[in-house]
Chains A and B, each alone.
Chain A
């Protein structure tokens, strides 16, 4: 009887070993540009679901460049990313919103926020009949999410979309139920466009949305709801909207024209990014021509003074690679690469990382 138990445990262990031996990396690596002089060590990153696809792809591609570097990115929401880096349970945090005063105060040591790519927050909807993007302005969008506009054929929406036949379907708004940088960006946008939104709901990474609206965890959760629910509307990163064939609204810019999110329109807004990154930093409502109004940079948060040399070196190599060669992948995933002068400033921010007081430089080839 005891031997049977032993056999069962041994069986499980050998199965595990067998599976480990058989597994192989299934990354389809795009050309990462050869390999570096550093072998790399596993890293853990946590945070934004908005940016998850790009960091996951970068992780796979970078693994081909430094074979020991396994960047394990877990998308638990921007708030989770800030928490993880604060508690040092992750090597880097990822957030779509810049660190706010209270988060900065909670950090045990100095950090630097490095923008990595630009992304757009799409107002995504599920309306099968529409062929062209729906036009919306900030005030109307705010009213939709406040629950004041309840059907798609409401006069306020119709006024912005002359000639389009709108269905009478009920509008079903969905929001993020976890701590989210996307919420921060979107509510900041709505608050800037609608005084009543600013007063009733406000701008933050979690807000109290009006009752009756569904809430989901993660951009993926929201996208899932949108895909399944006709008449639903929500805010997700543009790449999720494209990947799931959801409509994205064309948002009215400051000059009155309606701009739909695209790699180009998102890219145009990026020029506004100003260093150093502070709690108020944003690229919303960009006045640049053809710029999408609800654009955001997404940041990686790392400690300036790295505690572990191998991890620190791998981290520096990874981020350097991402800010240079990794920018090419951005467009294929529907993010926009950083404008070159912004990328240069980001690299300068990366160069401030130190180990034992000595600045760390990327390994050759990263």
Chain B
């Protein structure tokens, strides 16, 4: 049990004034830190909501971006929503299975030098700046195919999402008790069945949390998409062509002086932030429920 810290009244406990003062200042500093951590979030949330809400109407979600001569509140981000969905959708299809498979390798099979190298690679790729992923895909895929495209953007984002999925999944797999594996093996199940039928289902919702966090990260991506998908003012459903994305639209419209476009940017930011926050909170809820179930 923790021993109680010195009583508030300095002289009552024989504590010198200066020691007591230092302690009080320190406590104040800690509270200040807490306040400083909260202020930015509150400010950001406030401004995004206040400035973004006026942009939201049915047109916002169903129409294409306005042209220079269009009246306000007639345009929207329909193509960006579809574009983002396409890009992240393909990125998920690519990076989630690969990420989980790599995690399975590291947790269940990996021994020795190869595993060390793979793990080192995963940690290193985790630290990759997103602009680098975009730069590399732009210098290769975009250049070779002579085209900016949605799938190039998906490739770049997959590079970023893969290690996130792997790291989160590996951690969860490691938490599965060794006894479960050994018990199943003792009963004669082949190794792969143990993994597929026992380990993964036990880790189940933990893996889902990891995927949700990776998707959340992917949704917030701009730099990687900037160099690969270029953007599109029309609705595009083809992976081989330039595509719009919500983050890219915010980035370009924020620099435009026209109030109509700036308002659209805030509206898009509100939409994006809400989606990402809902995902993050959902991931947290899944994870907490899982902790409770396991406890």
Asked if chains A and B come from one complex, the reply is: yes
Q: In the assembled complex, how far is the CB of residue A345 from the closest CB belonging to chain B, in whole angstroms? A: 27
Asked if A42 and B257 make an inter-chain contact with CB atoms under 8 angstroms apart, the answer reads: no
Q: Is A102 an interface residue (CB 8 A)?
A: no
In the bound assembly, the distance between CA atoms of A305 and B234 in angstroms comes to 27
Q: Which residue of A lies closest to B86 (CB)?
A: A16
Which interface residue of B67, B147, B233 has the most chain A CB atoms within 10 A?
B67
The answer to whether A227 touches B146 (Cβ under 8 A) is: no
CB closest residue in chain B, given A52: B68
Q: How far is the CB of B179 from the nearest CB of chain A, in Å?
A: 21
- Known contacts A26-B74, A224-B257; A20/B82 CB under 8 A: yes
Task: For the complex, count residues of A whose C-beta is within 8 A of B.
Answer: 49
In angstroms, Cα B234 to Cα A23, docked, is 10
Q: Which residues of B contact A12 (CB under 8 A)?
A: 85, 88-89, 92
**Are A89 and B146 in contact (CB-based, < 8 A)?**
yes
Interface SS of chain A: helix
Query: Assuming the A-B contacts A16-B89, A88-B146, A216-B255, are A57 and B67 also in contact, with contact meaning beta carbons closer than 8 angstroms in the complex?
Result: yes
Chain A contacts for B99, CB-based, 8 A: none
CB contact under 8 A between A13 and B233, given known A22-B78, A244-B257:
no
Stretch at the interface among B40-48, B124-132, B181-189, B201-209: B201-209
Segment with Cβ contacts to B, from A69-77, A115-123, A296-304? A69-77
CB of B233 within 8 A of CB of A28, answer no
CA distance A27 to B79 in the complex (A): 14
Q: Which segment of A1-9, A129-137, A159-167, A310-318 sits at the interface?
A: A1-9
Q: Contact: B67 with A224, CB < 8 Å?
A: no
A5 to B79, CA, bound (A): 25
Contact bitstring B142-185, A, C-beta under 8 A = 1, else 0: 11001110000000000000000000000000000000000000
A44 to B201, CA, bound (A): 47
The interface bits of chain B over 83-104 (1 if a CB of A lies within 8 angstroms of the residue's CB, else 0) are: 0011011001100100000000
B215-249: CB near A (< 8 Å → 1, else 0) gives 00000000000000011111111000110000000
CA distance A24 to B93 in the complex (A): 28
**Is residue A138 contacting chain B, with contact meaning CB distance below 8 A?**
no
Residue contact B62 to A24, C-beta cutoff 8 Å: yes
Is B59 engaged at the interface, CB distance under 8 Å to the other chain?
yes
A220 to B256, CA, bound (A): 5
Question: Is B110 part of the binding interface, using a Cβ–Cβ cutoff of 8 Å?
Answer: no
B276 at the interface (CB under 8 A from A): no
Q: Which residues 182-236 in A have Cβ within 8 Å of B in the complex?
A: 216-218, 220-221, 223-224, 226-227
For A76, what are the chain B residues with a Cβ–Cβ distance below 8 Å? 230
- Cα-based distance from A19 to B59 in the complex (angstroms): 11
In the bound complex, residues from chain A placing their C-beta under 8 Å from that of B200 are: 1
Is the CB of A53 closer than 8 A to any CB of chain B? Answer: yes
Chain A residues closer than 8 Å to B235, beta-carbon distance:
20, 23
Q: How far is the CA of A216 from the CA of B81 in the complex (A)?
A: 28
A333 x B69 contact (CB < 8 A): yes
The answer to the question of A46 belonging to the interface, with a C-beta cut-off of 8 Å to chain B, is yes
B258 contacts the other chain (CB 8 A): yes
Residues of chain B contacted by A74 (CB below 8 angstroms): 230-232, 242
Across-interface contacts of B82 in A (CB, < 8 A): 16, 19-20, 23
Chain A residue nearest to B211 (CB atoms) is A5
Complex interface: chain B residues within 8 A of A56 (CB): 67-68, 233
* Cross-chain contact B242 with A1 (CB below 8 angstroms): no
Interchain CA distance A19-B236 in the complex, whole Å? 12
Q: How far is the CB of A99 from chain B (nearest CB, A)?
A: 19
B-side contacts of A16, CB under 8 Å: 81-82, 85-86, 89
Using Cβ atoms and an 8 Å threshold, which residues of chain B touch A332? 69
Question: Contacts A12-B88, A16-B85, A56-B233 given: A28-B79 contact, CB under 8 Å?
Answer: no
User: By CB atoms of chain A within 10 A, which of B64, B68, B76 has the most?
Assistant: B68
Minimal Cβ-Cβ distance residue in B for A1: B204
Chain A residues in 8 Å Cβ range of B71: 28
Is A240 on the interface with B (CB-CB < 8 A)? yes
| Docked complex Cα distance between A72 and B208 (Å) | 37
Q: Which residue of B has the minimal Cβ distance to A59? A: B233
A218 to B205, alpha carbons, bound, how many Å? 46
Are A87 and B78 touching (Cβ within 8 A)?
A: no
User: Of B67, B85, B252, which contacts A19 at CB under 8 A?
Assistant: B85
A1 with B207, Cβ < 8 A, contacts A74-B231, A220-B257 known: yes
Which single member of B69, B70, B81, B234 contacts A72 (CB below 8 Å)? Answer: B234
A175 at the interface (CB under 8 A from B): no
Q: Indicate whether A25 reaches chain B with its CB closer than 8 angstroms.
A: yes
Across-interface contacts of B142 in A (CB, < 8 A):
89
Among A19, A70, A240, A333, which residue has its beta carbon within 8 angstroms of that of B78? A19
A9 touches B93 (CB 8 A): yes
Residues on the A chain within 8 Å of B241, using CB: 42, 44
Contacts of A322-348 to chain B: CB distance below 8 A:
332-333
Contact A26 B63, CB 8 Å, known A19-B82, A72-B242: yes
- Partner of B75 from A26, A44, A87, A88 at Cβ < 8 Å: A26
In the complex the two chains form, is A23's CB within 8 Å of B256's CB? no
Contact B148 A89, beta carbon cutoff 8 Å: yes
Judged by a CB distance under 8 angstroms, whether A243 is at the interface is: yes
B67 touches A28 (CB 8 A): yes
Offer 10 A-B interface pairs, CB within 8 angstroms, sorted by A.
A2-B204, A12-B92, A28-B69, A28-B71, A44-B230, A56-B68, A76-B230, A88-B146, A217-B255, A220-B255
Interface residues of B (CB under 8 A from A): 59, 61-64, 66-71, 74-76, 78-79, 81-82, 85-86, 88-89, 92-93, 96, 142-143, 146-148, 200-201, 204-205, 207-208, 211-212, 230-237, 241-242, 252, 255-258
- Ranked 8 nearest A-B pairs via Cβ: A1-B204, A16-B85, A23-B78, A26-B63, A70-B234, A53-B68, A88-B146, A223-B257
Beyond the given pairs A19-B62, A19-B85, A22-B78, 9 more chain A to chain B contacts, judged by CB atoms under 8 angstroms and listed by A's residue number, are A1-B204, A4-B208, A15-B81, A19-B81, A26-B70, A89-B142, A220-B257, A223-B256, A224-B255
